[in-house]
Structure 1
Amino acid sequence: MDRRRVLVPLTTALLAFAAAATGAQSEATAGPPPPSRPDKVVIIVVDALSKEIVDKYDMQNVQALMADGVDTPRSYLGHTGSVTVVTHNVITSGMLPKHMGWTNEGYRDVDGVLGAPGGLYLTSNFGYDQMAPLQEHAGYPHLSDYLDDTGKVFTVSPKGYAAYGLAGPGSENTSVTTFTSGPTCDGIRYRMPTGVPAPPAYISSACGSRYLVERDKGYDTLQFPAQLYPATDDRYVVGDEPAHQGGDVWATDAVLDIMDHEGDGWSGIFVSLPGVDKAAHMWGGVNDPEGATPNYDPMTHMEFATATADAQVGRIMDALEESGQLDSTLVVLTADHGSVAADEGHWHGDFEPENDYGFFNWYYGDPENDIFYNRPQEALQPLVDTGNVGFSYSDSSLNVWLTDQSPAATREAAAVMRTLPDVTAVWHRNGDHFDRVTPVRWKLMRSPGEKAWFSRKAQELVDTQAADYGPDLVATLRDDTTYSVLGDHGGIQRSTQQIPIVFAGGGLSSKDLRAEVRSIDIMPTVLRTLGIEPTYDMDGKAYWLPRAKR
């Protein structure tokens, strides 16, 4: 498949006719010229940034972008699984998970793309060599495939699977910068930049480089609840070494270096900032105890993480303005999911004083690309006891790939899932949609708002992962409930679905869109705004963004 842009002759003819008609007008009647289209795009993904978090932590640069750009007050994520490894790819493909190659943190390789047909995989372990074949097998183009005709495309993310999702399979005109294990310099172990294709040469991995960050550092996170998914290096947190800051600052420094070195030679920059996500997972999101934490180090917590992410948004916008490129650059600010903060009594994971014990809460089963996760939390044990769980992924929803998919075995598993703590309903995949196979437990829902959201959105959101490589059964959970860590993603809850989607720069006005814009709508809207004709039928809708008057 040729995934480069194809110009449609009729469109070209109409544009030529419009230009001729405009030229025929006198200067007295033509009025001021309309703003030119942007020819570049910057996408900033602040991982786990719900609208609730923006408001609670008073993220002023994000709020300014919402006020000055085209905000979408009714926006929401629009799909499940609402997880990093899914949404970064959704944003730059415009495809729902059920059409993009994988739907969640579990994946059944029904077509044998990665190995023997039927193998079960953990997708957040995917690197370029696994993600690119799945993207190519599904057959759709990425945003980078359109943009690299007119300039270089750069993707920066401390998370490898986020970087490769945003970037797509790439070409010689694209570059990915993420982390891998690095050298030991003067007795200190570091992480260093890597990528496929490789990062630019000025983002160095040599000893002494700014782009090395320290490993073997836990700060105050080696205790409950953070120890479930602790900071053990400066990959996702800024750290305490001014010359080697990690996390969001590392990613933003790379973006600014790219802008400085490439001048006007780039057409797309995609960056994800992971600091808010890491703090939310460790400390319970908006329930973070902050100063009440023993041996409190503010650097690992939500208040610091949100302030840091907000500052990086400001730095990127300032750099665009100072370089004179803001008017020619469409800026998109969004998130890959929000964050569910588990209330007391509604966290159903287990804890042992071991680093990363939360992985045993997230996963059960023996995926082809990881260890055998054989220590399920007590709350999930009745389902495991059926002997029919090939793989399960549990966060703020429960997702199960069955070993025996026969009707009788499926009914048995669904009946058990119905009884698990805080399950509101169980859904069985039936082709391209899910059938709800248990009554809704409305009594678990505490507010009219939660009930109304479930009524309007549950079926739509669950259906977005109805693919044969997706889960066989899904259990939705009540608000403020997780089975994994105290702050998590994954389900249909408003706190994980209601994320910002903002368009700014590029000559746009500050008039808001009132539509329910979703993540899948970002890609087609970007193409429309840049005047690029899509070559593939996307799931998302292209919106006209209001332009500023000159």
Structure 2
Amino acid sequence: MARRHLLVALAAVSLVCAGTLVGAQTGAAVRPKPPTPPDKVVVIVVDALSKEIVEKYDMQHVQALMKDGVDTPRGYLGHTGSVTVVTHNVITSGMLPKNMGWTNEGYRDVDGVLGDPGGLYITSNFGYDEMSALQEHAGYPHLSDYLDDTGKVFTVSPKGYAAYGLSGPGSADTSVSTFTSADPCEVGGVRWRKPTGPGVPSYIEGSCGSRYWVERDKGYDTLQFPAQLYPATDDRYVVGDEPGHQGGDIWATDAALQIMAEERDAWSGLLVSLPGIDKAAHMWGGVNDPEDATPGFDPMTHMEFATATADAQVGRIMDALEESGELDSTLVVLTADHGSVAAAEGHWHGDFEPVDDYGYYNWYYGDPENDDPYDQPQEALQPLIDTENVGLSYSDSSLNVWLEDRSRASVAEAAAVMKRLPDVTAVWQRRGDHFDRVSRVRWDRMTSGGERSWFARKAQELVDTQAAPYGPDLVATLPDDTTYSVLGDHGGIQRTSQQIPIVFAGAGLSGKDLRAEVRSVDIMPTILRALGITPSYDMDGKAYRLPRTRP
């Protein structure tokens, strides 16, 4: 019996060897194991980062990521309003504005989620509780809901509503680090802005005057036109010159890197928003920033410094992941919440008074439930206000109007006025889940074939993404170089507002680009696919397969 077992074993070995030999002779190969899915995610949102800005300011770390990672050369934002308070939530929900709870800086509380039904609100005034209520009312999960199963998710942004959009309502384990406008403290004659947020780590919260508290009362060179429309008055968005208390993008990156170090074995997601470029672009007109021609020029508040700083922070985050040995197991997403429209001479239709933050009167008109009345509309908008039917308007590089009387005749009256406003290219009326164009297209107000082609291909799609009962009743689109608010702004369908980077890196990804027209709403489902997670909710975005380098 022992001899029989030995012969069987030898025969089996012979068959295996023969099979191996045949395989080698016929050219068959053992299929390599598929790469292990990443188990961590880092999302970096560089606010207002258009592709135009990346190229003009030679942002080398961003360009390297675009070259070495999975870039999307035809990618674009893919929705309106193209504003911070919308896009941060789109990125981590995979939902278009018309399905996510709010569409723009204005919001009609149709279902009475926040108060009496029908109330009008400014969404960028929302705190964590208000935004969470709308997110939960809409019913979809966020990226943090999926990542919470394997670790803790941390969100860092100096801008509160950006942080709350990225994080979502989260769980009891949610951690958000941002700033509060309330409760400043004073040490040695200096007032400090306090870090805050649900679940903010104790090593970031600190005590009055510690590392992550930043100086409040700083004006730099921004208390003059055009920056005075929306000036920097502390170090929340500006790096500042206070040693050991740098704000803005450096603040966000320092906090993110400390979280990575302190929570090394605990974190599964890190969501970081860098607001420096956005602030500089709003103040100085984006790529039209006069830089050192500014009286009292302080480079710290301007575009060249802001872009170099943001670029360096992207490099710091990537270096930290590589040095920790976690880059190959971490999916990194680099993107923006919108680009930046730079108003050309004669195409800025706001008003100016030498008062800090006067730009808010250009952005808003009405009496919202969560702010003081805005009752000083710019002269260009006055014909619409004269209809006495505007409940709330929000104006940037598009015009968005919530009407009080929405009868057919009243809507038609307002639309007829809007089409005669300066530089309007078309007026759109919401009808159910889409917008109908109710004016002729002013092709003559578009200055290039590229602009006209973009409008023809994308205007309807982009406007339709905010077709919801809580969205605007009327929208007016504007040309590439036009704003009604501040000299550098966002909001509309313009190419410079829509054409943003969307890059995937780390996690063993190859340098092969996606040729599809990837949109911001596609980021979330693409992340889940890369992680091997099955979605529990039907998203509006498309999941793309990211090409990876096989081991």
Q: Does the pair score TM above 0.5? A: yes
Cα deviation, 1:488-531, whole Å, max 9, x if unaligned, reads: 00000000000000000001000000000000000000000000
The residue that corresponds to 1:144 in the other structure is 144
* Secondary structure in structure 2 of the residue aligned to 1:203: helix
CA distance, structure 1, for counterparts of residue 304 and residue 262 of structure 2: 33
- 1:32 Cα deviation from its structure 2 partner: 4.5
* Secondary structure in structure 1 of the residue aligned to 2:457: helix
Corresponding position: 1:38 with 2:38: yes
Corresponding position: 1:336 with 2:372: no
Which residue type is aligned with residue 87 of structure 2?
Answer: T
* Secondary structure in structure 1 of the residue aligned to 2:352: coil
- 1:478 Cα deviation from its structure 2 partner: 0.8
Corresponding position: 1:134 with 2:134: yes
- 1:349 Cα deviation from its structure 2 partner: 0.2
Which residue type is aligned with residue 157 of structure 2?
Answer: S
The residue that corresponds to 2:186 in the other structure is 184
* Secondary structure in structure 2 of the residue aligned to 1:538: coil
CA distance, structure 2, for counterparts of residue 452 and residue 97 of structure 1: 24
The residue that corresponds to 2:95 in the other structure is 95
Correspondence list, 1:265-344, <5 A = 265-344=266-345
The residue that corresponds to 1:194 in the other structure is 196
Cα deviation, 1:436-482, whole Å, max 9, x if unaligned, reads: 00000111011000000000000000000000000000000011000
* Secondary structure in structure 2 of the residue aligned to 1:30: coil
The residue that corresponds to 1:421 in the other structure is 422
The residue that corresponds to 1:81 in the other structure is 81
- 1:277 Cα deviation from its structure 2 partner: 0.1
The residue that corresponds to 1:13 in the other structure is none
Correspondence list, 1:366-515, <5 A = 366-515=367-516
The residue that corresponds to 2:3 in the other structure is none
CA distance, structure 2, for counterparts of residue 286 and residue 485 of structure 1: 13
Cα deviation, 1:215-269, whole Å, max 9, x if unaligned, reads: 0101000000000000000000000112100000000000000000011211100
* Secondary structure in structure 1 of the residue aligned to 2:360: helix
8 Å contact from structure 2 (residues 45, 272) kept in 1: yes
* Secondary structure in structure 1 of the residue aligned to 2:382: helix
8 Å contact from structure 1 (residues 36, 507) kept in 2: no
* Secondary structure in structure 1 of the residue aligned to 2:202: coil
CA distance, structure 2, for counterparts of residue 186 and residue 369 of structure 1: 35
Which residue type is aligned with residue 66 of structure 2?
Answer: M
8 Å contact from structure 1 (residues 350, 377) kept in 2: yes
The residue that corresponds to 1:63 in the other structure is 63
Cα deviation, 1:60-100, whole Å, max 9, x if unaligned, reads: 00000000000000000000000000000000000000000
The residue that corresponds to 2:218 in the other structure is 217
* Secondary structure in structure 2 of the residue aligned to 1:343: coil
TM-score, length-scaled by structure 1? 0.94
- 1:186 Cα deviation from its structure 2 partner: 1.7
CA distance, structure 2, for counterparts of residue 210 and residue 530 of structure 1: 35
Which residue type is aligned with residue 151 of structure 1?
Answer: G
The residue that corresponds to 1:521 in the other structure is 522
CA distance, structure 2, for counterparts of residue 407 and residue 393 of structure 1: 22
The residue that corresponds to 2:207 in the other structure is 206
Cα deviation, 1:389-422, whole Å, max 9, x if unaligned, reads: 0000000000000010000000000000000000
* Secondary structure in structure 1 of the residue aligned to 2:270: strand
User: Is the deviation greater in 296-305 or in 26-35?
Assistant: 26-35
CA distance, structure 2, for counterparts of residue 430 and residue 32 of structure 1: 53
8 Å contact from structure 1 (residues 151, 173) kept in 2: no
Which residue type is aligned with residue 418 of structure 2?
Answer: M
Consecutive unaligned residues in structure 2, runs of 5 or more: 1-18
CA distance, structure 2, for counterparts of residue 208 and residue 415 of structure 1: 55
Greater Cα radius of gyration, structure 1 or 2: 2
- 1:31 Cα deviation from its structure 2 partner: 5.3
8 Å contact from structure 2 (residues 423, 478) kept in 1: yes
Identity of aligned residues (%): 81
CA distance, structure 1, for counterparts of residue 419 and residue 267 of structure 2: 52
Equivalent pairs counted in the alignment come to 525
Cα deviation, 1:163-191, whole Å, max 9, x if unaligned, reads: 00000001122200000133212221111
The residue that corresponds to 2:167 in the other structure is 167
* Secondary structure in structure 2 of the residue aligned to 1:392: strand
The residue that corresponds to 1:349 in the other structure is 350
Consecutive unaligned residues in structure 1, runs of 5 or more: 1-24
The residue that corresponds to 2:9 in the other structure is none
8 Å contact from structure 2 (residues 192, 209) kept in 1: no
Runs of 4+ in 1 over 4 A off after TM superposition: 25-29
8 Å contact from structure 1 (residues 151, 265) kept in 2: yes
CA distance, structure 1, for counterparts of residue 30 and residue 218 of structure 2: 64
Which residue type is aligned with residue 58 of structure 1?
Answer: D
